[in-house]
Structure 1
Amino acid sequence: MRATLRWAHSDLRTHRGEALFMVLATAGIVASLLLATALFGYATNPWQRVFTQARGAHVWIHTARSADAATLAHLDGVESVAGPYPTESATLLSRGTRASVELRATPGRPSVGRPLLTSGHWLDPADPGGVVLESRLARALLAEPGDTLTVAGTARTLTVVGIADSAEPRYRPGEQPGLVWALPSAVRDAGGEVTGLRLSDPDDTDYAVQRAVTVLGAGAVTEVSTWQQARAEAQGDNRLLGQVLGLFGLGALVAAGFAVHGAIGTRVRGHLRDISVLKAIGFTPGQVVRVFLLQHVAYALLGAVAAAALTQGLGRRIPGRFGDAVGVWQGLPGHTVVLFAVPAGAVLFIAATTGLAAWRAGRVPPVPVPRPAAPAGGRLTALARGALGLRLPPALVLGWHRAFARRPRSLATVARLALPLLLIVVAMSAWTTIDRFHSRPDEVGLAAALTVRPDSGLGEAATRALLEHERHIADAYPGVEVAALVPGQTATIALRGLGTRQNPYPYALAEGRPARGPDEAVAGQGLLDLLDVRVGDWVRMTVGDQPQILHIVGRSIEPENAGRVISTSLDTLRENDPGLRPTLYELRLRPGADPHQVAGDLARAAHGHLDVHPVVNPADGLSPLRGVVAGLIAVLALIGIVELLTAIGGTVREGERDLLALKAIGLSPRQITAITVTATACTALAAVVVGTALGLPLAHWLIDAQGRSSGIGAGLARGPSPVLLLLFGAAAMAGAAALAALPAARAARRRLADTLSAVA
């Protein structure tokens, strides 16, 4: 045991840099995997907790007042019913902000879909103007219990008495109205009803929706939302962040395993005589294997324990959603098991790759085998001889030859180094794609910067006059957006009529062509998947009791409503309903205009008759992803450094036998150093080329696959610019050369006696 520890200590002193980078890389990998687990728990658990405690309804059905919603309680599979509750659409004003809401007349606290109060109290009949706001709506309105809200366009005021969490779809400006619970006396102009169904079997949700629409009649149903939609919306960007962290964490773990395998293999080849001596003095093959295995497992264990301790102790102090995620995750039942399982799994994986490489050390014979006089691949190739004949610098030619002389070993080194570089290229592509949402929003379905919704007190002509008067508006596209029932009547989608044939809305198309003719439309990926249709198909949907048949001629990139949107021109919708008037305007601003300033100017000019808000950019919720990408690149860079140090050590050791010959032909120590530096740089260049060639298509595939799964659709991915890729390659080569310079210079200045002993 003492001899084993001495050997391990001696090896640690010789390879301090590799040991340090291995510990740091393992710590980064384990931290990434733990944060990914926390984000997955954070994405799912809060909504699931609210849904369970509130006895949430699996289906919410909005109907006209004339519908007999009470019959839904008798449907097969319906366990209990919430409502029907009369509803009123309104716009609330508070502290300079406004939000579209659904006032829901709730005589008593529901038993199904029960709001969970976070502050204040429930509705009190003694306060007929009191309301309870859904928590996200309250944050948007900057409202707290005791605040007074104004109903836009009226003199009515409402008092906030409570704020509650709900498992229903949450408020999203311009997409989903906020939920406000009020006493029946406060809902004065009810235009519809909403009914919640709690099912005995949640897997039968689609069938239950179909049965409910059949019983009520398609014309009576205005909108349907399900628990799956609410859960997916609640998970939102947290799940994506967890997927990114988990994917790169696992990729980095594989890269680290290969790096350790290569490091031990190179070290075994460099210490064949030392290992033979150990066996000659009594070391068994198992003991030799354990020397390498325990040493590298100790590095991995140290990094894993450090990552677990830091995540557990300081994780909740990370700013933003990462700290929140760790805080929620630490309160989950399986937290302790995962905290031990993830680091243990990472250590076991590294131990497995270490053991495979260390097994070769155990097979070294106890009697040293003489090295061949001329190693395979050691002779100069015809290309190298020709390059020397052209009087190219010998260091350059011999360095290139040394990098690729041993084909299998050189290819293995390039492959191991290319893996972390490949993942870095994928990470840079993700960064570039996120930047594209901000720099070129028109290319990702966000041509408009503002959405304007006039209230009933402002006519179409007056609205147009206000918009034309604002000099920062480049184009204003009138439109309407309604909920439509899909064929089979199992879900609702967004049917949008936007722009006219003379001034069409500039949709970002990933497939097909724009909708120009009558009955032509473009659709999002989420709608194509929901209906199982493709570009070129005709689809039929129902708006109220009126059918609408459209020809899908293109697939648009749709960041809203999970891509479940079909868009046509306002003229097409007017063919079915000549009296249709615009209910919203999408505004495209001039370059350099500030959306928030323009929104404020319009709101002041309209004296409160316009609901103006910026278009939500999905990338705003992904801002933490940039920090994630930067951290992952740092971890992958550490793994690349470990592999480079291994390659440098192997190149220096294999060049020791050539040192006398190089000096004999007149090369100076500086030129001999340049040979090793050039060999390392050539290896890095080959790895950069392979990593970039494979990383770019892999990044496009991964990003497009995520776009398809989220409903936005493929066509989002953008790779790094050629300039950035050139800088990346140059940085990798310069870093490799810098790492190789010092050990190469030391080897070139070794004494002849030392060199003779090394090659003997």
Structure 2
Amino acid sequence: MRATLRWAHSDLRTHRGEALFLVLATAGIVASLLLATALFGYATNPWQRVFTQARGAHVWIHTSLSADARALARLDGVESVAGPYRTESATVASRGTRVSVELRGTPRLPSVSRPLLTTGHWLDAAEPNGVVLESSLARALLAEPGDTLTLPGTTRTLTVEGIADSAEPHYSPGERPGLVWALPAAVRAPAGQVIGLRLGDPADTDYIVQRAVTALGSGAVGEVSTWRQARSAAQGDNRLLGQVLGLFGLGALVAAGFAVHGAIATRIRGHLRDLSILKAIGFTPGQVVRVFLLQHLAYALLGSVAAAALTEALGSRIPGRLGDAVGVWQGLPGHALAVLAVPVGAVLFIGLTTGLAAWRAGRVPPVPVPRPAAPAGGRLTGPARRALGLRWPAALVLGCHKVFTGRGRSLATVARLTLPLLLIVVALSAWTTIDRFHSSPGQMGLPTALTVRSDGALRPTDVQALLMRDSRVAAAYPGVEEAALVPGQTGTIALRGIGTRAEPYPYTLAEGHAARGPDEAVAGQGLLDLLHARVGDWVRMTVGDRPQILHIVGRSIEPRNAGRVATTSLDTLRENDPGLSAAFYELRLRPGADPQLVAAALAAAGAGHLDVHPLTNPADGLSPLRAVVAGLIAVLALIGLVELLTAIGASVREGERDLLALRAIGMSPRQITAITVTATGCTTLVAVVAGTALGLPLARRLIDAQGSSGGIGAGIAQSPSPGLLLLLSAAAVLGAAALAALPAARATRRRLADTLSAVA
């Protein structure tokens, strides 16, 4: 045992840098996997907790006031109901912020879909104008209990009595109004009613929705939302962040395992004589294997424990969403098991790859086998001889020859080095895609920057004229958005009529062409998936009691409403409903215009009659991903550095065999050093080219697949700029050459006696 420890200690002193990089890389990998686990728990658990505690409704149906919504309680499969409650659409303002809300007349605290109060108290009959705000709406308004909300254009005011969590879809500017619970007397102009259905079996959701619409009549149904949509909206970008961390964490773990395997295999080839001596003095094959296995398991264990300890101690202090996720995750039941399982799994995987490589060390015979006399690279190839004949630098020719004739070993080195480089290219592609959402939103499905809604006091022509008076507004597209029932009546989608045939809306198309003719429309990926349709199909939907048949002529990149959007021109919808007027305007701004400043100016010009807000950019919620990508690139760079050090060590040791011959033909130490440096640079260059060639299409496929699953659709992936890829390639090749220069120079200064003993 003492001899084993002394051998491990000696090997550690010889390879301190490699050991440090392995520990750091393992720590980064385990930390990324733990953070991914935290994000998955954070994405799913809060909504599920609220839904369970509130006894949430699985289906919410908005109907007309004349519909007999109470009859839905008698449907088979409906366990209980919430409501029906009368609703009123309104706009409220607080501290200069205006939002669209749904006032819901709630006479008493419900038993189904019960709001969970976080601050304040429930509605009191002594305060007829008191309201309770849903928590996401309260955050948007910066409202607290005791604050007063105004309804612009009226003399009405509302007093905030409390703030509550709800399992219903949260407030989203321009997409979904905020939820306000009020006493029935505060709902003065009800335009409809809403009822929630709690089901005995959530799997029957689509069937119950279909039966409910049939019972009420499609003309009486305004909008349908389900618990699946609410859960998906609540998970939002957290699940995506978890998927990115998990994907890269697992990829980095595989890359680290290959790097460890290559390091041990290279070390064994370089120390065959030492291993034979160990066998000769009494070491058993099992002891030799254990030396390598225990040593690298110790590195992996140290990195894993450090990552788990840091995540536990400091994870909740990470600013932003990651810190919130870790804080929530630490209170979940499966937290302790995950903290134990993830590091143990990483250690076991690294132990497996270590054991496979160390097993070869146990098979080394006690008597050293003489090395073959032929050089590892073989004889000079025809191209190498012709290059020397053309007086190309001998160091350059021999270095490249050494790489391209190295057979399996060179290919294995290139493959191990390619994997982290490939993952870095994928990470840079994700970074570039996020940046493109911010720098060029028009190319990513957001051609307009502002949405404007009027309170009805101004005529549509006056509103459009007022908007166009601002020189920073390039175009104002009138539009309406209606909830439409899909075929089968299992849910609603958004049917948008925006722009006119004279001034069409600038869609961001990924497939097909724009909607120009009558009955033509473009659809988001989420809608096509929901209807199992393709570009070129005709689809039928129901708006109220009116059927609408549209020809899908294109697929647009649609980041709103999970892509469940059909967009056509306002003229097309007016053919079915001549009295239809614009409900909002979407504004395209001139380059360089600040949306916030323009919004403030237009709101002031509208004298309180206009509600102006910027469109939500889906990349805003992905800002933590940049820090995640940067951290992952650092971890992958460490893994690549370990592999480079291994390749350099192998190249230097193999070069010792040719050192005497190269000196005999008159090559200087500098030229001999250049051979090793060139060989290392060529190996890295081949790996960079392979990593880039494989990484770019893989990144595009992964990002587009994620876009399709989220409803935005394929076509959003953006590759890094050629300049950035060239910079990455140059940094990798020049860095590898710089790392190889020092050990190669040291090898050329070895004494002849040492060189002879190495060759023998």
Aligned twin of 1:137 = 137
Aligned to 1:180: 180
**What residue is the counterpart of 1:409 in the other structure?**
409
The alignment status of 1:230 with 2:230, answered yes or no, reads: yes
Matched letter for residue 618 of structure 1: P
Within-5 A mapping of 1:194-209: 194-209=194-209
Please show how residues 79-118 of structure 1 align to structure 2 within 5 Å: 79-118=79-118
Q: Which amino acid aligns with 1:303?
A: G
Q: Distance in 2 between matches of 1:252 and 1:571?
A: 53
Q: Distance in 1 between matches of 2:155 and 2:548?
A: 39
Q: Mapping of 1:525-564 within 5 angstroms?
A: 525-564=525-564
**Partner of residue 64, structure 1:** 64
Per the alignment, residue 571 of structure 1 pairs with: 571
Determine helix, strand or coil for the equivalent of 2:99.
strand
Q: Contact 1:514–1:554 (CA<8 Å) still a contact in 2?
A: yes
C-alpha deviation, 1:671, in angstroms: 1.1
Taking a change above 3 Å as real, the CA distance of residues 675 and 375 of structure 1, as seen in their structure-2 partners, is: closer
| Matched residues, number | 760
Query: For the residues of structure 2 that align with 1:745 and 1:378, how far apart are their CA atoms?
Result: 23
8 Å Cα contact 2:219/2:543 also seen in 1: yes
Paired with 2:579 and 2:71, the residues of 1 have a C-alpha distance of 34
Q: Are residues 1:648 and 2:648 paired?
A: yes
Does the Cα contact within 8 Å between 2:69 and 2:216 map onto a contact in 1?
A: yes
- Which residue in the other structure is 1:472 paired with? 472
1:607 Cα deviation from its structure 2 partner: 1.0
**CA contact 1:272–1:368 (8 Å) conserved in 2:** yes
Matched residues in 2 for 1:20 and 1:658: separation? Answer: 31
The aligned counterpart of 2:666 is 666
What's 1:516 paired with?
516
After TM superposition, list the pairs within 5 Å mapping 1:60-459 onto structure 2.
Answer: 60-459=60-459
Equivalent residues of 1:123, 1:183 under 8 A apart: yes
**Superposed displacement of residue 702, structure 1:** 0.2
Q: Report the alpha carbon displacement of residue 382 of structure 1 after superposing the two structures with TM.
A: 1.3
Partner of 2:490: 490
Query: How big is each residue's C-alpha offset from its partner over 1:696-734, in whole Å with a ceiling of 9 and x where there is no partner?
Result: 010010000000000000000111111111111101001
SS at match of 1:611: strand
Asked whether the equivalents of residues 527 and 566 of structure 2 are also in contact (C-alpha less than 8 Å), the reply is yes
Instruction: Find the counterpart in structure 2 of residue 48 from structure 1.
Output: 48
Q: Distance in 2 between matches of 1:229 and 1:292?
A: 52
What's the offset of the Cα at 1:153? 1.5
1:297-342 C-alpha deviation (Å, 9 max, x unpaired) = 1101100000000001110000001010000000000100100100
Give the equivalent residue in structure 2 for 1:481: 481
**Per-residue deviation, residues 459-502 of structure 1 (Å, max 9, x unmatched):** 11220121121110000000000100001000000000000001
The one-letter amino acid paired with 2:48 is Q
Structure 1 residues 348-357 or 660-669, which shifts more? Answer: 660-669
Q: 2:377·2:401 contact (CA, 8 Å) conserved in 1? A: no
The Cα offsets for residues 635-686 of structure 1, whole Å up to 9 and x where unpaired, read as 0000000000000000000000111111111111111111111100000000
Is the contact between residue 375 and residue 658 of structure 2 (CA under 8 Å) also seen in structure 1?
no
Distance in 2 (CA, whole Å) between partners of 1:484 and 1:461 is 27
SS in 2 for 1:552: strand
Residue type at the aligned position of 1:412: A
Q: Matches of 2:269 and 2:181 in 1, distance apart?
A: 74
Q: How big is each residue's C-alpha offset from its partner over 1:120-178, in whole Å with a ceiling of 9 and x where there is no partner? A: 00000000010000011011111110000011211000000000000001000000000
- Name the CA distance, whole Å, in 2 between partners of 1:689 and 1:78: 60
SS at match of 1:402: helix
Q: Which moves more between the two structures, 168-177 or 719-728? A: 719-728
Measure, in 2, the Cα distance between the counterparts of 1:16 and 1:738. 19
> Over residues 552-597 of structure 1, what are the superposed CA-to-partner deviations in whole Å (9 max), with x where a residue is unaligned?
0000000000000000000000001111100000000011111000
Q: Which amino acid aligns with 1:219?
A: G
Q: CA deviation at 1:748?
A: 1.0
The residue that corresponds to 1:21 in the other structure is 21
1:580 & 1:207 partners in 2: Cα distance? 32
Aligned to 2:707: 707
> Secondary structure of the equivalent of 1:125?
coil
Residue 99 of structure 1 aligns to a residue whose secondary structure is strand
**Residue type matched to 1:97 in 2?**
T
Residue equivalent to 1:607: 607
Q: 1:64·1:221 contact (CA, 8 Å) conserved in 2?
A: yes
Query: How far 1:751 sits from its partner (Å)?
Result: 1.1
Residues of 2 paired with 1:283 and 1:588: CA distance? 77
Equivalent pair of 1:432/1:718 in contact (CA under 8 Å): yes
Give secondary structure in 2 for the equivalent of 1:256.
Answer: helix
Tell me the SS of whatever aligns to 2:611. Answer: strand
- Name the aligned partner's letter for residue 732 of structure 1: A
Question: Equivalent residue of 1:482, what SS?
Answer: strand
Q: What is the letter of the counterpart of residue 571 of structure 1?
A: D
Map 1:665-704 → 2, pairs under 5 A:
665-704=665-704
Q: Given that residues 512 and 553 in structure 2 are in contact (C-alpha distance below 8 angstroms), is that contact kept between their aligned partners in structure 1? A: yes
| 2:721 corresponds to 1:721 | yes
Whole-angstrom CA distance in 2 between matches of 1:457 and 1:101: 19
Secondary structure of 2:552's aligned partner: strand
Tell me, in whole angstroms, the C-alpha distance in 2 between the residues paired with 1:558 and 1:729: 35
Deviation at 1:376, TM superposition (A): 4.9
Cα deviations by residue, 1:185-228 (Å, 9 ceiling, x for unpaired): 10000000000000000000000100000000000000000000
Letter in 2 for 1:559: P
- TM superposition shift of 1:404: 2.4
Residue identity opposite 1:646 in structure 2: T
CA contact (8 A) 1:92 1:149 kept: yes
Give the whole-Å Cα distance in 1 for the aligned partners of 2:418 and 2:176.
Answer: 46
User: TM-score, length-normalised on structure 1?
Assistant: 1.00
| Shift of residue 385, structure 1, vs aligned partner | 1.2
CA contact 1:562–1:711 (8 Å) conserved in 2: yes
Contact 2:292–2:358, Cα closer than 8 Å, also in 1: yes
Alignment partner, residue 587 of structure 1 = 587
Q: For the residues of structure 2 that align with 1:402 and 1:518, how far apart are their CA atoms?
A: 68
Structure 1 residue 99, shift from structure 2 partner? 0.3
Equivalent position amino acid for 1:158 in 2: L
C-alpha deviations, 1:585-612, integer Å up to 9, x for none? 0000011111000000000011111110
CA RMSD of aligned residues (A): 0.6
User: One-letter code of the match for 1:481?
Assistant: E
Amino acid at match of 1:679: A
Contact persistence 1:58–1:199 (CA under 8 A): yes
Deviation at 1:377, TM superposition (A): 3.3
For residues 5 and 105 of structure 1, what CA distance do their matches in structure 2 show? Answer: 76
Separation in 2, partners of 1:270, 1:659: 16
What letter matches 1:408 in structure 2?
Answer: G
Structure 2 letter corresponding to 1:726 = L
SS at match of 2:672: helix
Which amino acid is the alignment partner of residue 407 of structure 1? Answer: R
Contact 2:539 2:551 (C-alpha < 8 Å) held by counterparts = yes
How far 1:405 sits from its partner (Å)? 2.2
> What letter is aligned with 1:172?
S
Task: Spell out, residue by residue over 1:216-248, the C-alpha distance to the aligned partner (whole angstroms, 9 max, x if none).
Answer: 000000000000000000000000000000000
In the alignment, is the contact (CA less than 8 A) between 1:245 and 1:628 conserved in 2? yes
Identity %: 81
Query: Structure 2: which 5+ residue stretches go unaligned?
Result: none
Q: Distance in 1 between matches of 2:399 and 2:468?
A: 69
Instruction: Give the conservation status (yes or no) of the 8 Å contact 1:90–1:152.
Output: no
Q: Which runs of 4+ in 1 moved over 6 A?
A: none
- The farther-off stretch of 368-377 and 438-447 is 368-377
Structure 2: distance between partners of 1:607 and 1:52? 45
